[in-house]
Chains A and B, each alone.
Chain A
Amino acid sequence: MSDTPKTHGGKRPGAGRKKGSGLYNEPTKVVRLPESQVPVIKEWLKARAKSPTHAPELPLPKANNAETLRPDASSHVDLPLFSHKVVAGFPSPADDNIEARLDLNEHYIRNPETTFLVKVQGDSMKKSGIHHGDILVVDRSINPVDGKIVIAAIDSELTVKRLSVKSTGTWLVPENDDYTPILVKEESNLVIWGVVTTVMHSF
């Protein structure tokens, strides 16, 4: 073989159609398709050519017994907390920096032994963001003081209200204009069952 540059044959730079000058305004690629799907893809390409920005979804065939997979919410998931940006695609150099896993319990429950979950019925505390069906985190070991939202037992019914200790007396105050505050009478037997620390509301 000689060292002289070739003058015949081979690829000539700059020859041929320019890249991206075809039907689709972008480079293309040759692929193999199952014959039965060729018309489907062709249809789709045609539709896409008409309105490139609002391309319809590719109508790929589904298996007869296919089902939509729903996320399973029943399991317990720990979310890792990183101190670095996550690098995707290759073994993460951040692995060394996994700090801990975010546990909702840890954040919302300070005293696990004395914390109970209760369910809200009704909307007497609507304005403070407590709605019908919400679940409240109640810590019984916290001292009920003026201004806390509490679970109180009065007249044999458990109720969630804001505790207000004023010169006019002890009040259980609803946060909904349709309800009136309850004055705790001297003779009534008020039990503060626990103090609400968190409301869990699902949308």
Chain B
Amino acid sequence: MPLFALVDANSFYASCEIAFQPALENRPVVVLSNNDGCIVAANKIAKDLARQQSINYGSGGYRAAKPTSMMFQPYFKVKGFLAHHNAAIFSSNYELYADMSTRMHRLIAGFGSSQEIYSIDESFLDLSGMTQWNLTAYGQQIKQRVKQGLGLPVDIGIAPSKTLAKLANHLAKKHKDYDGVLDLSALSDVSVNLLLKNLSVGEVWGIGKQLAAQLEAGGIHTALDLKLASPTLLKRRSSIIERIIMELNGIACIQLKEVAPAKQQILSSRSFGRPVSEYQEMEQAVASYTARAAEKLRSQASVCQTVSVYIRTDPFKTPSYTNHQTLGLVYPSDNTSLLIQMTKRALKRIWQPGLAYQKTGITLSEISPKGALQLDVFAPNPKYSANPKSDNLMRVLDEVNQKMGRGKLHLAAEGLTNKQDWRMRRDYCSPRYTTRWDELLSVH
């Protein structure tokens, strides 16, 4: 019988900070998004604190933000409240989180026959064939190993399908009694149904907001309703729903994806640390995001054939302006200099002088694996595609940057790093303890 475990770290970003400053364990800890804008992670103490206060945060922040919760709300709304409760505030330290994530996934990998890294803080393990084991005890062992080895708290859900494992994980997190590990395969059908009855249908993996609304309208309110629903009775019968119903019934339909699928679209966007109104600065920002996206493109051995750029001013201030421009390439390419040329050309077409821009982003799309090139009789020979000289240059660029640190070697179009004061703000960033010699944790 197939068996899956979903191992998921609690408040991952906040936990990474606490792992290197154990004294924070008893304080509210909050991590902010890019530019220290919104709250993206908070430890349990911070969440409980905010819940007690029952503040109405109103609208704003990320799309996921709710007026009842502090999460994803703009930082300025809770700044005073958090300071009053002696909360520790951090900017996102992506270097640290990425390294801790890699460590965690590798450490967990040894506990299953295969692993799917699902996100920065979650991975599925294949436990098939371990039906004779006490998997709750096994889960506790995984939990303990990650806690001791990395200082990160994880919760684990175990079940015969990935969808159920995800729900089990959700329950393990929610209810203290499970002590962070819930094995649905050890429970009777009746007990599982009782648990599913208390979960709303929207909490099932793969059921988005829209679909949830449709199901609710059709009288399906809980995960149990969906489990017992006959797919043929549903108004809009779809293979996706059918699959989810099978999964809820303990029939595994979604296999582990051990190799992450290549991205179909690469996006690189960021808000500025301060409004930008100089064309040259905007051009540098566009160039530097393009360079980063091109690097990602090459790392998955792909080429792209479309680039697009968008720029926008603060949407809450008038006059607000937002625009985008898409350009196609004659030949698909992965060359940074060509892509920067294109994005700069696109920017020129949408740039309006005299405005204070807040954000820009670039997108690479029509991505395909890099391979032999079909030449066009009527087009000039490609200078930047399937050209060994250009490929070698890009390889050296990537190798140097991998060895010496990101951005060590870059195109002049990106501007000088020390002059890029439009870069995002990270005022409360902790040291990059695990990736920089000069930022190691110090002990007395």
**Assuming A122-B444, A140-B149, is B22 touching A116 (CB within 8 A)?**
no
Give 1 or 0 for each of A122-159: 1 = CB within 8 Å of chain B CB: 10100000000001100011000000000101001111
Q: How far, in whole Å, are A135 and B151 apart by their CA atoms in the complex?
A: 20
Q: How far, in whole Å, are A122 and B443 apart by their CA atoms in the complex?
A: 8
Q: How far, in whole Å, are A118 and B440 apart by their CA atoms in the complex?
A: 5
Instruction: Determine if A173 is an interface residue (Cβ-Cβ < 8 Å).
Output: no
Q: How far, in whole Å, are A118 and B434 apart by their CA atoms in the complex?
A: 9
A151: which B residues are within 8 A, CB to CB? 443
Q: How far, in whole Å, are A120 and B22 apart by their CA atoms in the complex?
A: 17
> 10 shortest A-B CB distances, which residue pairs?
A156-B23, A114-B149, A153-B22, A141-B149, A119-B440, A113-B107, A113-B103, A118-B441, A158-B443, A191-B22
Give 1 or 0 for each of A58-71: 1 = CB within 8 Å of chain B CB: 00000000000000
Q: Which of A92-108 contact B (CB under 8 A)?
A: none
Instruction: Determine if A111 is an interface residue (Cβ-Cβ < 8 Å).
Output: yes
Q: Is the CB of A140 within 8 A of B148?
A: yes
Q: Which of B26, B104, B145, B433 contacts A116 (CB 8 A)?
A: B433
Give 1 or 0 for each of B22-64: 1 = CB within 8 Å of chain A CB: 1101100000000000000000000000000000000000000
Q: Is the CB of B443 within 8 A of A113?
A: no
Closest to A159 in B: B444
Q: Least Cβ distance of B240 to chain A in Å?
A: 36
**Assuming A113-B107, A156-B23, A193-B22, is B442 touching A118 (CB within 8 A)?**
yes
Q: How far, in whole Å, are A166 and B434 apart by their CA atoms in the complex?
A: 34
Q: Is the CB of B149 within 8 A of A121?
A: no
Closest to B434 in A: A116
Instruction: Determine if A117 is an interface residue (Cβ-Cβ < 8 Å).
Output: yes
Closest to A190 in B: B22
Q: Select the residue from A113, A140, A157, A191 with max chain B CB neighbours within 10 A.
A: A113
Interface size of A by Cβ–Cβ distance < 8 Å? Answer: 26
B106: which A residues are within 8 A, CB to CB? 112-113
Instruction: Determine if A163 is an interface residue (Cβ-Cβ < 8 Å).
Output: no
Q: Is the CB of A113 within 8 A of B149?
A: yes
B356: which A residues are within 8 A, CB to CB? none
Q: Return 12 A-B CB contacts under 8 Å, by A number.
A: A113-B103, A113-B106, A114-B103, A114-B107, A116-B433, A116-B434, A117-B434, A119-B443, A124-B444, A141-B145, A157-B444, A158-B444
Q: Select the residue from A116, A118, A141, A157 with max chain B CB neighbours within 10 A.
A: A116
Q: Is the CB of A118 within 8 A of B443?
A: yes
Q: Select the residue from B107, B149, B151, B443 with max chain A CB neighbours within 10 A.
A: B443
Q: How far, in whole Å, are A113 and B434 apart by their CA atoms in the complex?
A: 11
Q: How far, in whole Å, are A112 and B107 apart by their CA atoms in the complex?
A: 9
B26: which A residues are within 8 A, CB to CB? 189
Q: Is the CB of B149 within 8 A of A159?
A: no
Q: How far, in whole Å, are A51 and B442 apart by their CA atoms in the complex?
A: 55
Residues of chain A touching chain B, judged by Cβ–Cβ distance below 8 Å, are 111-114, 116-122, 124, 135-136, 140-141, 151, 153, 156-160, 189, 191, 193
Besides A140-B150, A193-B22, 14 other A-B contacts (C-beta < 8 A): A113-B107, A113-B150, A114-B149, A117-B440, A119-B443, A122-B444, A140-B148, A141-B145, A141-B149, A153-B22, A157-B23, A158-B443, A189-B26, A191-B22
Q: Is the CB of A153 within 8 A of B23?
A: yes
Q: Select the residue from B106, B151, B441 with max chain A CB neighbours within 10 A.
A: B441
Q: Least Cβ distance of B345 to chain A in Å?
A: 39
Q: Is the CB of B441 within 8 A of A116?
A: yes
B23: which A residues are within 8 A, CB to CB? 153, 156-157
Q: How far, in whole Å, are A189 and B104 apart by their CA atoms in the complex?
A: 26
**Assuming A113-B106, A141-B145, is B441 touching A158 (CB within 8 A)?**
yes
Q: Least Cβ distance of A190 to chain B in Å?
A: 10
B443: which A residues are within 8 A, CB to CB? 118-121, 136, 151, 158-160
A153: which B residues are within 8 A, CB to CB? 22-23
Q: Which of B149-179 contact A (CB under 8 A)?
A: 149-151
Q: Least Cβ distance of B381 to chain A in Å?
A: 38
B151: which A residues are within 8 A, CB to CB? 140, 193
Q: Is the CB of A121 within 8 A of B434?
A: no
Q: Is the CB of A121 within 8 A of B107?
A: no
Closest to B149 in A: A114
A112: which B residues are within 8 A, CB to CB? 106
Q: Which of B22, B25, B150, B442 contacts A121 (CB 8 A)?
A: B442
Q: Is the CB of A141 within 8 A of B22?
A: no
Give 1 or 0 for each of B289-329: 1 = CB within 8 Å of chain A CB: 00000000000000000000000000000000000000000
Q: Which of B113-159 contact A (CB under 8 A)?
A: 145, 148-151
Q: How far, in whole Å, are A41 and B444 apart by their CA atoms in the complex?
A: 59
Closest to A136 in B: B443
A113: which B residues are within 8 A, CB to CB? 103-104, 106-107, 149-150
Closest to B110 in A: A113
A141: which B residues are within 8 A, CB to CB? 145, 148-149
Q: How far, in whole Å, are A124 and B444 apart by their CA atoms in the complex?
A: 8
Q: Least Cβ distance of B25 to chain A in Å?
A: 8
Q: How far, in whole Å, are A22 and B254 apart by their CA atoms in the complex?
A: 93
Q: Which of A114, A135, A140, A189 contacts B440 (CB 8 A)?
A: A135
Q: Least Cβ distance of B54 to chain A in Å?
A: 30
Q: How far, in whole Å, are A189 and B23 apart by their CA atoms in the complex?
A: 9
